[in-house]
Each structure stands twice: as structure tokens, then as C-alpha cells.
Amino acid sequence: RIGQERETRFRDGLGTRVRAADAGGDPVEHLHLVPELVAQESAIRDRVGRLINFRHARYVRLRGVDRLKGGTRDLVVSYDALEGARLSTVLETLTRIPLSLEVDIAIQVVRDLLPAIGILHDSRKVTHGAIAPERLVFTQQQRLVIVDHGFGTALGRLNLQRKKLWEQFRIPVPSSN
């Protein structure tokens, strides 16, 4: 059940994330999907259904997929609320201040990310499908957490050109040649 929404937290090609509370008053985050993904509702519901019981320290917990009550009837994916900074925000900030990202830090991100991706693939036989800096969050404890892992099939079914996948969803796809 979806409770009252509060504040916009982040916006990217997948949609807008809004801080909310569930029916019991616990903090959650709702991702209001863009129309292209709403058209893939059954694929999203299927993938989220497969991952609803998936628990791992490197992944935010999915809560479900629902339609908002009221006029818009937006399709939203609910997650546990997660405090932290998205890697995309950190990288953007680095362009405005005189700091640089050390190679050791970049290697550590990859060292945290690769085993976590492997766990999702091996334990649930699914791919994330949308790994990008916008979908990697560093918690206040400096722990890497992966979000938005319920869209692999839906994004594949969009059959978009490489350029559109990159520009809207920040998904890099190698050229066919």
C-alpha cells in the first residue's frame, strides 16, 4: 500500500524518485516511471516479483510495483528509503571543486560492484540491465548500494537505439561492429 508522498529526491531517465511513507509510516522511496517504461509494466512487475525477496547488503530492498491512487495513476516502483549520495552526483560535484578522483577509489568501486552484480546473476538468474553512476549509491557508512535493479527486461524490450539508451538512460551499449 502506498502512503503519502513528500519530496522529490532524484530524477533521471528512468523517472522521478520521491520520498514517501508506506501505510505503516515507514520511509520508502517511489520511482515514478517515465512513459516508455510504463508501457513495459508487465515486464517490470515480473522482474520486481522475482526480486521482491532478494536481500543483499549491496542492493536496496524492492518493495513492489503499484499504481498511485488519484488522477495521474502513475506507475511506481517502491524501495526501502536509502540515505546517501549517488555516484553521478559525486562525479558531477568533482567537476566544480578542485578535487580529483583517485585511481584507488575507482578501483574500489569496481571491486565492490562486480561481485555484487555476480550475486544477482547467480542467485536470481537476472541481469541488472541499467548499471550507471545514477544507480550506485554510497551510504553514510561509505557502503556501495545498487538501486533500480528491476528494469533489465523492460529496458531490453524497448528496442532503443544505442544513442537513445545512452542519452536517456545512461546505458552504454557497444557498437555492433
Q: Tens of pLDDT along 26-81?
A: 999 999 999 999 999 999 999 999 999 999 999 999 999 999 877 677 899 999 99
pTM, entire model: 0.86
Condensed to tens digits (0 to 9), the pLDDT of residues 68-117 reads 877 677 899 999 999 999 999 888 888 888 777 678 888 888 999 999 99
Q: With beta carbons less than 8 A apart as the criterion, state whether 60 and 82 touch.
A: yes
**What b/e readout covers 60-90, taking b as 16+ CB neighbours within 10 angstroms?**
bbbbbbeeeeeeeebbbbbbbbbebebbbeb
Condensed to tens digits (0 to 9), the pLDDT of residues 105-117 reads 888 889 999 999 9
Q: With beta carbons less than 8 A apart as the criterion, state whether 15 and 34 touch.
A: yes
Condensed to tens digits (0 to 9), the pLDDT of residues 146-159 reads 999 999 889 889 98
